[in-house]
Amino acid sequence: MRWLSDDKLNHLRSVVSEPDFNATKYTFVKEVGRGGMGAVYLAEDRELDRLVAIKVLSTPDTEDLRKRMVREAQIIARLEHPGIVPVHDVGTLPDGRIFYAMKYVRGSRLDEYATQGASLRDRLRKFQAVCDAVAFAHAHGVIHRDLKPQNIMIGSFGEVLVLDWGVATIRDNPCESVGTVVGTQNYMSPEQARGEIDQLDERADVYSLGAVLQFLLNDQPKVSKAAQAICAKAMSQTKQDRYATASDLSTDVGRLLDAEPVSAYRENAFERVSRWVSKNRFLVLLVLAYLLMRIFLIFTSRG
Report how many residues bind other proteins under the rule CB under 8 A.
37
Give the contacts of 134 (CB within 8 A, at least 6 positions apart): 144, 147, 162, 205, 209, 246
CA gap 86, 102 in Å, rounded: 6
CA atoms within 13 A on the CB side of 100: 28
Of 65 and 77, the one with the shorter C-beta distance to other proteins is 65
Binding residue (CB under 8 A) for other proteins from 38, 83, 166, 183: 38
Catalytic annotation present for 258: no
27, 173, 180, 186: residue in contact with other proteins (rule CB under 8 A): 27
Binding of other proteins by 299 (CB under 8 A): no
Determine if 67 is a binding residue for other proteins (CB under 8 A). no
Interaction between residue 193 and other proteins (CB under 8 A): no
CA-based end-to-end distance of the chain: 109
Cα 92 vs. chain centroid, distance in angstroms? 26
Under rule CB under 8 A, residue 2 binds other proteins: yes
Non-local (6+) Cβ contacts of 45 within 8 A are 25, 26, 51, 52, 88, 101
Contacting other proteins within 158-187 (CB under 8 A): none
Collapsing DSSP to helix, strand or coil, 102 comes out as strand
**Per CB under 8 A, does 30 bind other proteins?**
no
Rank residues 62 and 301 by Cβ distance to other proteins and give the closer one. 62
* b/e burial code for range 222-243 (CB count within 10 A of at least 16 → b): eebebbebbbbbbbbeebeebb
Q: Which is catalytic among the residues 45, 146, 164, 252?
A: 146
Site string for other proteins, 94-133 (x = CB under 8 A): xxxx------------------------------------
Residues of this chain that bind other proteins (CB under 8 A)? 1-5, 8-18, 20, 22-23, 27-28, 34-36, 38-39, 46, 58-63, 94-97
Task: Supply the residues annotated as catalytic.
Answer: 146
